Amino acid sequence: MHDARPRRFLRHPAQLVVLGFAGAVAVGTLLLLLPVSRTDTAGADLVTALFTATSAVCVTGLAVVDTGTYWSGFGQVVVLALIQVGGFGIMTLASLLGLLVWRRMGLRSRITAMTETKALGLGDVRSVVLGVARVSLLVEAAVAVPLALRFWWAYDYSPGRAAYLGVFHSVSAFNNAGFALWSDSLTRYVTDPWICLPIAAAVILGGLGFPVVLELRRQLRRPRRWSLHTKITVSATVVLLVAGTAFVTANEWRNPATLGALDSGAGRVLAGFFQAVMPRTAGFNSLDYGQMYEGTLLGTVVLMFIGGGSAGTAGGIKVTTFVLLWFVIWAEVRGEQDVEAFGRRIDDRATRQALTVALLSVGVVSAATIALVEMTRLPTHQVLFEAVSAFATVGLSTGITADVGRDGHLVLTLLMFVGRLGPVTLVSALALRERRRAYSHPEERPIIG
Residue 443 is assigned to a structural domain of this protein: no
Residue 435 is assigned to a structural domain of this protein: no
- Would you say 209 and 237 are in contact if contact means Cβ atoms under 8 Å apart? no
Residue 196 is assigned to a structural domain of this protein: yes
Residue 8 is assigned to a structural domain of this protein: no
Cα separation of 4 and 78, whole Å? 46
| Predicted local confidence at residue 423, as pLDDT | 64
Residue 348 is assigned to a structural domain of this protein: yes
Cα separation of 245 and 238, whole Å? 11
pLDDT digits (tens, 9 = 90+) for 408-441: 999 999 999 999 887 656 555 544 445 566 777 7
Percent of the chain with pLDDT strictly greater than 70: 85
Q: What are phi and psi of 105, to 5 degrees?
A: -140, 125
pLDDT at 118 over 60: no
DSSP class per residue in 57-79: HTT----SS-HHHHB-HHHHHHH
| Predicted local confidence at residue 436, as pLDDT | 65
pLDDT digits (tens, 9 = 90+) for 206-227: 888 877 887 888 888 888 888 8
- Would you say 393 and 416 are in contact if contact means Cβ atoms under 8 Å apart? yes
pLDDT band (50, 70, 90) for residue 335: confident
* Range(s) of the domain holding residue 257: 13-430
Instruction: Report the amino acid identity of residue 97.
Output: L
Residue 378 is assigned to a structural domain of this protein: yes
Q: What is the mean pLDDT of residues 365-388?
A: 95
Q: What is the mean pLDDT of residues 161-181?
A: 95
Neighbours of 281 (CB within 10 A): 34
Q: What is the mean pLDDT of residues 259-286?
A: 93
Residue 4 is assigned to a structural domain of this protein: no
Cα separation of 140 and 175, whole Å? 9
Instruction: Report the amino acid identity of residue 101.
Output: V
- Domain total for the chain? 1
Side-chain half-sphere CA neighbours of 275 within 13 A = 32
Neighbours of 149 (CB within 10 A): 15
pLDDT band (50, 70, 90) for residue 122: very low
Question: Worst-scoring range by mean pLDDT, 107-121, 271-285, 358-372?
Answer: 107-121
| Predicted local confidence at residue 115, as pLDDT | 54
| Predicted local confidence at residue 409, as pLDDT | 96
| Predicted local confidence at residue 109, as pLDDT | 52
Q: What is the mean pLDDT of residues 111-139?
A: 66
pLDDT at 12 over 60: no
Reduced to 3 DSSP states, what percent helix, strand and coil does the chain have, rounded to the nearest 5?
A: 70, 0, 30
Residue 449 is assigned to a structural domain of this protein: no
pTM for this predicted structure = 0.88
- Would you say 148 and 160 are in contact if contact means Cβ atoms under 8 Å apart? no
